[in-house]
Amino acid sequence: MADAQIKCITKSDPNGGHEHIVAVGGNDWYWTKEQVIESIDAKTNTFHVRDPRTGKVAYVGVVRVSGHAAYIRTHADGIWTDNLLSLPACGPRK
């Protein structure tokens, strides 16, 4: 299992929350939200965000709310956090 650091996000609505994240990226990779969810569910990879100031890590989990599409969000110390939303937008994809 690989552990990947997420460094940027792409949202369908720039002002939207976690539910609007459609893809995430790292140093040399870019995955859709669906690919990340599938990988987390299959336990083939883990994903995290690292706070640049403190170095603290928050891992990404899958949130499932009845009647809504699954989405990804970070959690640290058992609490859902907003670390993904603090990341910059990913640049254009080739």
pLDDT value, residue 45:
97
78: confidence class by pLDDT, cuts 50, 70, 90: confident
CB of 48 within 8 A of CB of 5?
yes
Q: Which residues of 2-18 are buried (b: 16+ CB within 10 A; e: fewer)?
A: eebebeebbbeeeeeeb
93: confidence class by pLDDT, cuts 50, 70, 90: low
Segment 20-76, tens digit of pLDDT: 999 999 999 999 999 999 999 999 999 999 988 888 999 999 999 999 999 999 998
Q: What is the mean pLDDT of residues 7-25?
A: 95
pLDDT value, residue 68:
92
Taking 70 as the threshold, does the pLDDT of residue 13 lie above it? yes
Tell me how long the chain is: 94
